[in-house]
Amino acid sequence: MKDAFLKLYVKLQCLAAVEEGQDLVEYALLITLVALAAVAGINKVASAINTVFSNISATLS
């Protein structure tokens, strides 16, 4: 996982050095923020689903 973030960071640094790709860097940062928000949201949803199934299991027992 760290290697993927390191590769992404190096790629963004290379793109930031070229002025022609400035918009591309901004889009890449925006996509990264959206991906991080999605991961955080999925963790909360998974926790909620686990709670629901645990409650159903306890009710059926």
Tens of pLDDT along 18-46?
Answer: 666 667 888 889 999 999 999 888 988 99
Domain residues for 31? 2-60
Task: Tally the domains of the chain.
Answer: 1
Closest alpha carbon to 8 in 32, 37, 30, 26 = 32
pTM equals 0.44
- Reading the block at residue 24, the tokens are 């591309």
pLDDT band at 58; cut points 50, 70, 90: very high
3-class secondary-structure state, position 12: helix
Question: Does residue 29 contact residue 12 with C-beta atoms inside 8 Å?
Answer: yes
